[in-house]
Amino acid sequence: MQRGAQDFAQQHQADQKLAGKEREGYTLLLAMRRWEFEAFPVRRR
């Protein structure tokens, strides 16, 4: 996660130097939820 944040920040700084017409917009959606493989609870001690 830290590496991704650093990369994003570097790209953001580089894009700020570009003219508006040279920039491209992108969206990243990151989601997390609790999930457990169904075989694990049965084998839990």
**Per-residue CA distances from 11 to 3, 16, 18, 19, 22 (Å):** 12, 9, 11, 14, 14
Contacts of 10 (CB under 8 A, 6+ apart): none
Is residue 43 over pLDDT 90?
A: no
Mean pLDDT is highest, among 6-10, 18-22, 26-30, 36-40, for: 6-10
End-to-end CA distance of the chain: 31
> Distance between CA 13 and CA 22 in Å, rounded?
14
> Domain residue spans in the chain?
2-43
The model's pLDDT over 2-21, given as tens digits with 9 standing for 90+, comes to 998 899 899 889 888 888 88
